[in-house]
Amino acid sequence: MEAAAVAPVALLPAGVPLLLLLALSTLIITRWRWNNRNSRLPPSPMALPLIGHLHLIRSPPHRALDRIVARYGPLVYLRLGPSTHCVVVGTADAARDLLKHEASFPERPITVVTRHLAYDDAGFAFAPYGPHWRFMKRLCMSELLGPRTVDQLRPVREAELAAVLGAARQAAARGERIDVSRHLISMSNNAIMRMVASALPGHMTEAARDCAKRVAEVVGAFNIEDYVGFCRGWDLQGLTRRTREVRDKFDALLETMITAKEEKRRRRQQEQGETTTTTTNNNNNDDLLDILMDAAEDKNSEVRLTRENIKAFVLDILTAGSDTTATSVEWMLAYLINHPACMDKLRAELDAVVGASRLVGELDVPNLPYLQAVFKETLRLQPPAVFAQRETIEPVHVRGYVIPPKTSVFFNIFSIGRDPGWWEDPLEFRPERFMPGGAGAGVDPKGQHMQLLPFGSGRRACPGMGLAMQAVPAFLAALVQCFHWAVPIPQGQSTAPPLDMEEEAALVTARKHHLILIPTPRLNPLPATAT
């Protein structure tokens, strides 16, 4: 092994000029062919040899792309590495014009990391557009994340919220500060895990939470193999090794979950005296895994789900629905603390609509317009997922430009939400803009209004948006209803500074620094239940 590793190193100095010459020649030929075929590309910054525009993508990347589109226009062509071609969409109008041609870019690009995690394309998030994807979409919207299932699993979310409120109450009784970020992450991860598998033991919940965190880290990391072809297979950054490790750990966990569920279902069938396989019936379902296994056992289904399909889909749900919930609640609370007048308005609405005798719940959200406005304004400024990425399968003619096939299209949701063409003072936190009479009145985040796309739009829009729009505002409302939240005063200062709003560079754009606050009970005693 050592000799094999040393040999290339000994030849490297003499071979470097030849490798560079070959790479440069390939680049020139590829670029000539590309430009010859596609002479009407969108505007582009000056590129460097070999790396293209990679040097412009500083951390965090969504802010780097925001600066690029501000300078070069709403559609910008970038080359990331020698042959990875991209177009960045940075305004609501450009997004609308491009989405008119959505049939020409129905795919999501799959990276080296996501290919390992998604069992190639067995899941839903990165599955090719076709019969399997359409079946999974229908299953997701009608069963897995449909209104009936979301409502059925509401007690799971309420139990996890109660644990956060209990921790805050204990900290308040001791006069201590609390790491709100840590508790929100635990709440959202536990809730999504128990929605997937309701009877999961505590130690397995912890293991799943650790896996989900590691998945987010590797998916959100820059991987040179995705952009420089001759680096593919070398694993220069160790990302492939780390991905395989977390995938194997997650696979073992999922196998345990599925095996336990199979045994439980067999016992149930024996107790009921059944001799045939149960078909899909939500009345007998305990959780999302039950629904998936019912679909897999349905002999009349147009698509038969395999064990790998189930594992990949569960992994999709866990990684997409955990940290995003915590991040949204965290940003909302931080913005309200920095804007006390908005906090007072929300509390007044909660007192008027819900009162002090019971805990605000998900069913109250439709009757709390200012709460919904706070949620929308937070999603506009701090969308949990800052990009929506697609890939063209044929040429797209838009705004006088031609976007060639096999081009990645990045909808920079961060830039679109701050588009000054649609929003007055777009960097300001103003929930009132979504209230009656405001510029955003009637605008919702479900993908129909291009100026607000936190869940994406079209065929590949997030299927969990209904759950998020119901659960996330309710979590925030309970924290605001039950407690006053104060920023600790640093030693040597007389007043607390405003909370910093710096972002972490990751797959989900959480706050860079944990939200450490001092809770004081606002209601005594705290209400125990919601309606």
Binding residues for heme: 462
From the annotation, which residues make up the binding site? 462
Q: Around 10, how many Cα atoms within 13 Å sit in the side-chain half-sphere?
A: 6
Rounded to the nearest 5 percent, the helix, strand and coil shares of the chain are 55, 10, 35
Helix (H) or strand (E) run with residue 34 in it: helix 2-37
Tokens found for residue 20 = 């560079």
> How far apart (Å, rounded) are the C-alpha atoms in residues 401 and 119?
36
Counting Cα atoms < 13 Å in the Cβ hemisphere of 303 gives 17
Using H for helix, E for strand and C for coil, what is the string for 262-286?
HHHHHHHHHHHCCCCCCCCCHHHCC
Q: How far apart are CA 463 and CA 170, in angstroms?
A: 36
E-strand spans in 28-177? 75-80, 84-89
Pairing of strands 401-403, 396-398: antiparallel
Dist CA 293 CA 35 (whole Å): 50
The token pair at 239 is: 């990302």
